[in-house]
């Protein structure tokens, strides 16, 4: 019930915001000239190789996707049904499977499109993933700092001291912990799971319905999706936005959604 209401209110607020002078296309969007040049280069590459490239069967072209999926699935089922071995676990490792898919894609691209387009595609891929790995690496290091400094125990102590506090204070604290972990770690799901793990041991002592605490964690973990998130950079690249433009859309939108959902959670917690 809270999800659709949050989505509608957030969309309405963002619509009002983006219709104002808040949005500046020159600074918030990637240069149109650069995009046109990239598209023209891609079309030239396509025209150059369309007559000479080898036509391979569809099943062969899908191998870079299918092979990693089969490897990962086989490893998962082997572990599930207890017939896994070190070799099967190695072959079913997601990192190895994706690397095999990458190599297969490179080989097929060289065979069908030639060296030039393949090299340019690899360069563009490395350019995009380089900044993602750098920023999310910083987020991962912050997550490691949280674990090394026992911050989780400190946050758990806050809840232990809060067992007799009003319902509203407990909900706000749960929201704050999840938001803090999300800002540090960069992953919504990891932040939510970590916050739940911190709160779970003393959940029975709190005078709040568990579902309300769960909603507060979900609301807080959504707050301010920003530069240490993989999705931030995917969003930026797919929509052709600058970093500033992505902060003004994705980061602001998730922050607004988190803040909009918080009072709704507070209302639910009073009646749950």
Percent of the chain beyond pLDDT 90? Answer: 36
CB within 8 Å of 60: residues ≥ 6 apart: 108
Is 198 found in the same domain as 99? Answer: no
Q: Examine the domain organization and report whether 85 and 211 are in the same domain.
A: no
DSSP state of 201: G
Is residue 211 domain-shared with residue 179, that is, in the same domain? yes
Q: What is the pLDDT of residue 185?
A: 80
Look at phi and psi of residue 235 and say left if phi exceeds 0, alpha if psi is from -120 to 50, else beta: alpha
Q: Three-class SS of residue 29?
A: strand
Residues 79-106: what's their mean pLDDT? 92
43-47, 162-166, 209-213, range with the lowest pLDDT: 43-47
Give the three-class secondary structure for 222.
Answer: coil
Whether residues 70 and 160 fall in one domain:
no
The 10s digit of each residue's pLDDT in 74-87 is 999 998 888 889 99
Q: Which residue has the higher pLDDT, 197 or 145?
A: 197
In-domain check, residue 179: yes
Same-domain check for residues 151 and 249:
yes
| Helix, coil or strand: residue 60 | helix
Are 184 and 72 within one domain?
Answer: no
Domain membership of residue 206 (yes or no) is: yes
Residue 218 and residue 153 share a domain: yes
Share of the chain above pLDDT 70, in %: 80
pLDDT tens digit sequence for 7-59: 999 999 999 999 888 998 888 888 644 555 555 565 555 555 554 456 778 88
**164 — pLDDT class (breaks 50, 70, 90):** low
Q: Do 150 and 232 share a domain, yes or no? A: yes
> pLDDT value at position 51?
47
Whether the CB-CB separation of 178 and 216 falls below 8 Å is answered with: yes
Contact 199, 217 (CB under 8 A): yes
69 and 178 fall within a common domain: no
DSSP-assigned beta bridge partners for residue 266: none
Enter the DSSP assignment of 247: I
The rounded distance, in Å, linking the Cα atoms of 7 and 3 is: 6
| Confidence bin at 247 (pLDDT 50/70/90) | very high
In a domain, 223, yes or no: yes
Q: What would the two tokens of residue 135 be?
A: 């920023």
In this structure, are 40 and 60 located in the same domain?
no
Query: Which of 82, 112, 142 is a domain's end point?
Result: 112
- pLDDT (tens digit per residue) in 104-159: 999 999 888 888 888 888 888 887 777 667 766 766 676 667 667 766 666 666 66
Query: Are residues 250 and 144 located together in one domain of the fold?
Result: yes
Distances (CA, A) of 221 to 37, 210, 211, 258: 39, 16, 15, 8
- Residue 199 is assigned to a structural domain of this protein: yes
Overall number of domains in the chain = 2
pLDDT the model gives residue 49 = 53
Confirm whether pTM is higher than 0.85.
Answer: no
Q: Is residue 79 assigned to a domain?
A: yes
- Please report the pLDDT score of residue 153 as a whole number: 67
d(CA 162, CA 72): 44
What is the residue range of 97's domain?
54-112
Of 112, 143, 158, the domain-final residue: 112
The angle formed by the CA atoms of residues 263, 226 and 129, to the nearest 5 degrees, is 150
Please, what is the angle between helix 115-148 and helix 94-112, to 10°?
160
Examine residue 124 and state whether it is found in any structural domain, yes or no: no
Residues 40 and 61 in one domain: no
CB burial of 224-261 (b: ≥16 within 10 Å; e: otherwise) equals: bbbbbbeebbebbbeeebbeebbbbbbbbbbbbbbbbb
In a domain, 19, yes or no: no
Note whether residue 144 is domain-resident. Answer: yes
């Amino acid at each position: 019930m809270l999800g659709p209401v949050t989505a509608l209110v957030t969309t309405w607020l963002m619509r009002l915001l983006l219709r104002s002078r808040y949005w500046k296309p020159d600074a918030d969007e990637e240069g149109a000239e650069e995009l046109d040049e990239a598209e023209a280069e891609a079309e030239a590459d396509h025209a150059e190789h369309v007559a000479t490239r080898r036509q391979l069967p569809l099943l062969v072209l899908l191998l870079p996707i299918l092979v990693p999926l089969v490897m990962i699935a086989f490893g998962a089922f082997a572990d599930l049904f207890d017939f896994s071995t070190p070799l099967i676990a190695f072959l079913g490792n997601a990192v190895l499977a994706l690397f095999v898919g990458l190599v297969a894609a490179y080989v097929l691209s060289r065979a069908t499109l030639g060296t030039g387009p393949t090299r340019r595609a690899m360069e563009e891929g490395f350019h995009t993933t380089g900044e993602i790995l750098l920023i999310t690496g910083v987020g991962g290091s912050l997550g490691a700092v949280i674990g090394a400094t026992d911050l989780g125990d400190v946050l758990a102590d806050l809840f232990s001291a809060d067992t007799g506090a009003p319902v509203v204070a407990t909900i706000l604290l749960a929201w704050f912990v999840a938001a803090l972990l999300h800002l540090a770690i960069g992953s919504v799901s990891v932040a939510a799971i970590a916050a739940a793990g911190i709160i779970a041991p003393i959940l029975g002592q709190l005078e709040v319905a568990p579902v309300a605490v769960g909603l507060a964690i979900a609301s807080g973990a959504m707050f301010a999706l920003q530069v240490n998130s993989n999705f931030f950079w995917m969003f930026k690249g797919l929509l052709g936005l600058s970093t500033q433009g992505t902060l003004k859309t994705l980061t602001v939108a998730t922050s607004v959604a988190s803040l909009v959902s918080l009072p709704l959670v507070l209302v639910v917690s009073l009646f749950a």
